Structure 1
Amino acid sequence: MKTICYCAAVRTAARKTTALYDSILEPAGVTLAQYSLLRRIERTETVSLTKLGRLAELDRSTVGRNVKALEELRLVRLGPAKDQREAAVRLTPAGAEALQRARPLWEQAQRRVEAALGAAGAEQLRALAAAI
């Protein structure tokens, strides 16, 4: 009997799902990773890079690199945080516009994945994410 590696299966599914979202979000000029960070920044208005890392469940160096890319695209602006040793990030008007363009595309991607999974599959996915 052939044994499936659950980690490999989940990673493959994640790569394929990310590629789907990236292709659908492309007209908005952002990737899924960028969209996710922009949404977290939008929700908090101004957030330190350390807190953003905690919210996104990413290490500080990864968040720093991703925010730098968003800054180069002029979608976010870095400035001082309450703690002067830390930097804080906030959306620029261009970042807010990018989110506005991306939101309906993200919703389209959501519908595509939901249709592929079905209601039972979507519930299983939520349960898997909660269990791990």
Structure 2
Amino acid sequence: MSSGDFGGQMCLNVQCAARALARRFAAALAPSGVSHGQSSLMMSLNRPVAPCFGDAAAFLAVDCMALTASLKPLERRGLAEIVPDTDDKRLRRLYLTRAGRKLLKAAVPVWPPPMTKPAPTSRPTASPCAPNSPASPPPVEPQKQA
């Protein structure tokens, strides 16, 4: 196996694991009415000093447009607010409201959900996440540079 094959397979496995984890988060947080993305955003705002918009975007590794889109539903529900900085009016600070802190406090105990150990044979062999399974794509040969 070449290093290119390993990297491609590792990337696929990481993506599959991320999707599986996202599904677990979504299911665990569903009763609270927030998505896992919204709960992550709320968690990032739950700090002693409210972050400015750019710092929050950088911390969450998203652009400002994505952060704005994520904040809108939280603002509409009264869970977060955007307030001009008291010292520099060009900056906007992101605050978790009292209702947001209350919801976050209620949502946090649902994660992690109870873990059950799967039976050794419970992993489907045709899963695209299973290495070398029938559903796995064939290895990609690295192209030689001329």
Q: Normalising to structure 1: TM-score of the pair?
A: 0.73
Provide the alpha-carbon RMSD of the alignment. Answer: 2.2
**Who is 1:39 aligned against?**
43
Does 1:88 find its partner at 2:80?
Answer: no
Letter in 2 for 1:19: R
Contact kept? 1:45, 1:91, Cα under 8 Å: no
Task: Select the structure that is richer in helix.
Answer: 1
Q: Is the 8 A contact 1:29 1:98 kept in 2?
A: no
**Which of 89, 107, 110 is residue 105 of structure 1 equivalent to?**
110
The DSSP-based 3-state class of the residue aligned with 1:88 is strand
Matched positions, count: 112
Q: Which residue of 2 aligns with 1:64?
A: 68
Residues 60 and 44 (structure 1 numbering): CA distance in 2 closer, same or farther, change over 3 Å?
farther
Q: Which amino acid aligns with 2:74?
A: L
Percent identity, aligned pairs only, is 27
Counterpart pick for 2:59 among 55, 59, 84? 55
Of 30, 42, 45, 2:34 maps to: 30
| Aligned twin of 1:129 | none
| Larger-gyration structure (1/2) | 2
Report deviation, 1:6.
2.3
Indicate the larger mover: 39-48 or 87-96: 39-48
Where structure 1 has 5 or more consecutive residues not aligned to the other structure, the ranges are 117-132
CA distance in 1, matches of 2:88, 2:11: 39
Q: 1:41 and 1:92 mapped to 2: Cα distance?
A: 10
Provide TM-score, normalisation by structure 2.
0.67
